Amino acid sequence: MKYYLVAGEASGDLHGANLMKELTKLDPQAEFRFFGGDLMQAEGGTLVKHYADMAFMGFFEVAANLRTILKNLAFCKLDIANYHPDVLILIDFPGFNLKIAAFAKENNLPVNYYISPKVWAWNQKRVLKIKRIVDHLFCILPFEVDFYKEWGMEVDYVGNPLLDAIADFKPDAGFLNKNKLTAKKIIALLPGSRKQEINYLLPDMIAVANQYPDYQFVIAGAPSFNSEYYQQYLNGKPIPVLFDATYDILSNAHAAVVASGTATLETALFNVPQVVVYKGNPISITIARMLVKIKHISLVNLIMNSGIVKELIQQNCTPATIGAELDLILNNKTYHENMLANYDKLDEKMGTPGASAKTARLIVKYATKK
């Protein structure tokens, strides 16, 4: 069968790649065409557009890049129509993908949506639209099944694909020596994969590093940027930027400072104590605070429905506040152990690997039945 996938950010690229791998096992003749990234491209098929040209986050940022977004939407619709896929798979990225879903529905193309839009966070009435334009919704967070059921929508809960990625990860035994990281304990810096995230968060992270000369800070570089891009923030400071090595960094980290997003959950699943940070355009943040109706922003706290990791947002996110939280993680044994104990409870809630395989089986089953 012919599969068309649309992923618009780094996490979608990861989950899309794992899904493609499982689809190929079930359908050896599978042909793939996609919006995605390097990981999906490594699985084969045709990369139409890289997510680095698509990932805009925040109300102000979206407005400022509206022409580019509309151009990408038009191009994606035309490309899908020309390709005539047997299966359309939309991965997260709701601002873009829900518009593609509506287009597909108008053209009688069944819509598989992998990783539910976070409609439980704000404007929950969007579920009514999702019911109209999405044929099969695959959820990865435990509480989402009950949420959709309250709105009269049946969904498939497949578990979380991060568990698959982590289970498949094979640590590099020579990672520390190769990168000359053997002298000090490591603190991981994960400033996000979007330009605006890095721009807002990395300067504060680097300022914090100055407070801890006895630790080695390491930046997990986003694959859509190069080393030179990060150097503008470092100003000659000896903080290595390592690419395609996030899991190796976390495997060896003693603590982490993490941009809110998928990486917070990855960090917790690697059992690394963390402080979660987020900053954005002030206008975007103000609008978000008026609209969003959830207590927490990090996936860890959302899944646990409790503030088990500290979240520092906007004006509360400064080198001083980040440093104070790191002090607790590094020097307060009780605080450190409580976070790890809560991570154990999180592991229980998350379950076992297999989300990618289960989703692939369901997609093929629904497509064959159709």
Q: What are the structural domains, with CATH classification, of the chain? A: 2-159+354-369 (3.40.50.2000), 175-350 (3.40.50.2000)
Poorest-pLDDT segment among 2-16, 117-131, 132-146:
117-131
Residue positions counted in the chain = 370
Best CA proximity match to 355, nearest among 167, 111, 164, 154: 164
Instruction: Report which DSSP code applies to 293.
Output: -
Reported as a single tens digit per residue, the pLDDT across 135-153 is 999 999 888 998 999 999 9
Residues 352 and 350: their CA atoms lie apart, in Å, by 7
Mean pLDDT rounded to a whole number for the chain: 91
Give the pLDDT confidence score for residue 314 in this predicted structure.
87
Of residues 121 and 126, more confidence is placed in 126
Can you list the alpha helix ranges (DSSP code H) found in the chain? Answer: 10-26, 38-42, 59-64, 66-83, 94-106, 126-133, 144-150, 161-168, 175-178, 195-209, 227-234, 246-252, 262-269, 282-291, 299-304, 319-331, 333-350, 355-369
Query: To 5 degrees, how large is the angle CA 290–CA 292–CA 297?
Result: 125
The answer to whether 186 touches 254, Cβ cutoff 8 Å, is yes
pTM for the model stands at 0.79
The least confident of 71-85, 181-195, 215-229, 287-301 is 287-301
Percent with pLDDT over 70 in the chain: 93
Tell me the per-residue pLDDT of 286-323, one tens digit each, with 9 for 90 and over.
666 555 666 788 999 999 989 999 999 989 999 999 99
Q: Which two tokens stand for residue 342?
A: 């809560």
Q: Residues 270, 276, 278, CA angle at the centre, nearest 5°?
A: 140
What six digits make up the tokens of 262? 């998928």
Q: Which amino acid is at 128?
A: L
Can you tell me the distance from the alpha carbon of 109 to that of 83, in angstroms, rounded to the nearest whole number? Answer: 12
Q: Which residue has the tokens 């794992």?
A: 18
Q: What is the pLDDT of residues 196-238, one digit of tens each?
A: 899 999 999 999 998 999 999 999 999 889 999 999 999 888 8
pLDDT digits (tens, 9 = 90+) for 308-363: 999 999 899 999 999 999 999 999 999 999 999 999 999 998 989 999 999 999 99
Angle CA 348–351–355, to nearest 5: 160
What angle is formed at CA 324 by the lines to CA 247 and CA 283, rounded to 5 degrees? 80
**Residue recorded with tokens 């022409």:** 67
